[in-house]
Amino acid sequence: MNDKSCGVLRKTEDKERTSMAQRRWRMLARALTRSPEPLIEPEDVISVRRFTNFNLVKPKLLENAPVDPKSSWYEYSCVVDNDLFAVLVRRINKTFTANELIGFNNTGNVCVWPSEECLGYYLLKNQRICRNKTVLELGGGMSCLAGVLVAKYCGPSGVTLTDGNVTSVDNVRCIIARNNMADFVKCGVVQWARAANVLRQAASGHRVQTWSPETVDESRRTEGLYDVILSADCLFFDDVRLDLVETIYGWLADDGIALIMAPRRGMTFQKFADAAVKRGFLARQIERYDADVWARHLELGDNCQEYCADIHYPVLLELTKQKKTPPG
């Protein structure tokens, strides 16, 4: 095959990949926004959003909430050991286009994903993890549900909730205010590439701007590390994998723990775990981290045709830093 033929073949393959990606994003946009437009697509691009949650943390529309055409308020509640836990969550009422959904910083604006639900549920059952600890959530989307539940019920000493999208962070600020937690919960825009770049510069001896509570972008933080870092369903973008690993490593205290919850999605979960180990983390993957979540997973596998464990069941990844042994 000559160079010209190879070039034509590559262009054809690139066009096919682009077309497939566009079809998937169109389907995701329609599924998320419940568009009445019919879904006429090949079977291999069926939207993963047809499965929505594990029914552990249940949303209920607040009928008496202030009328706002741009948003609706829900009560997200769950029962753990006969105790009721509930927080108020503002959901944005907007029809998102496929173009708006493309990219790491927009899909979290339209729903609470199963990984966030399971992470929040897990932390409510294991409140000791965050008690009297400084907690950071990365990539929390439109609700930062896990972080909000931690802030309200798990007794942390401080909580910082972040996402890479300004709309998400503004929405989370509304949620924090409505739940009367603005006095000890901070919100900020964090883009992992920028945060990782600042951390790499600091590690190489370059002077970086000091972080302060008034700074909008948490990526400037250079003093004070977090005891617990949370992240739910943030591993599916290959181009920012190493930046997320670096951000977690740079902001996690030596005796802290990072809890990463995400489906395996082929090799994406494993690639992140491998990158974390290479950076210096000790990593532990846990499939059966909670009896209720596991039972629900088995039930869905038997009874729900739309459920696929590889793309829906969140696995828990625990990251801790390796202890540095002094020489000699």
Which has the higher per-residue pLDDT, 108 or 237?
237
Model pLDDT for residues 158-170, shown as the tens digit of each residue: 999 999 988 889 9
Q: Which residue has the tokens 């160079």?
A: 3
- Name the pLDDT band for 97 (thresholds 50, 70, 90): low
Neighbours of 14 (CB within 10 A): 10
Give me the chain's average pLDDT, please. 81
Smallest CA-to-CA distance from 302 within 64, 60, 82, 294 is with 294
Q: Is residue 108 over pLDDT 60?
A: no
Query: Alpha carbon 98 to chain centroid distance?
Result: 20
Please give the pLDDT value at position 291: 96
Cβ atoms of 73 and 88 within 8 Å: the answer is yes
Which has the higher per-residue pLDDT, 35 or 199?
199
- Name the pLDDT band for 12 (thresholds 50, 70, 90): low
Pairing state between β 83-92 and 315-321: unpaired
Please give the pLDDT value at position 215: 45
Please give the pLDDT value at position 239: 87
Model pLDDT for residues 300-311, shown as the tens digit of each residue: 999 999 999 999
Please give the pLDDT value at position 327: 61
Mean pLDDT in residue range 313-326: 86
Model pLDDT for residues 205-264, shown as the tens digit of each residue: 765 554 433 344 554 444 569 999 999 999 977 889 999 999 999 999 999 999 999 999
Rounded percentage of the chain residues whose pLDDT exceeds 90: 59
Model pLDDT for residues 34-73, shown as the tens digit of each residue: 433 333 333 333 344 467 889 999 999 998 877 778 889 9
Q: Where are the beta strands (DSSP E) in the chain?
A: 58-61, 71-80, 83-92, 134-138, 158-163, 185-189, 226-232, 252-262, 281-286, 315-321
Q: Is residue 111 over pLDDT 90?
A: no
- Name the pLDDT band for 285 (thresholds 50, 70, 90): very high
Q: Is residue 324 over pLDDT 60?
A: yes
Q: Is residue 277 over pLDDT 90?
A: yes
Rounded percentage of the chain residues whose pLDDT exceeds 70: 72
Contact residues for 5 (Cβ-Cβ < 8 A; gap 6+): none
Which has the higher per-residue pLDDT, 29 or 203?
203
Which has the higher per-residue pLDDT, 220 or 195?
195
Q: Give the C-alpha distances (Å, rounded to integers) separating 183 from 144, 147, 168, 186.
A: 17, 15, 20, 8
Alpha helix stretches (DSSP H) within 53-142: 98-101, 114-125
Q: Is residue 107 over pLDDT 70?
A: no
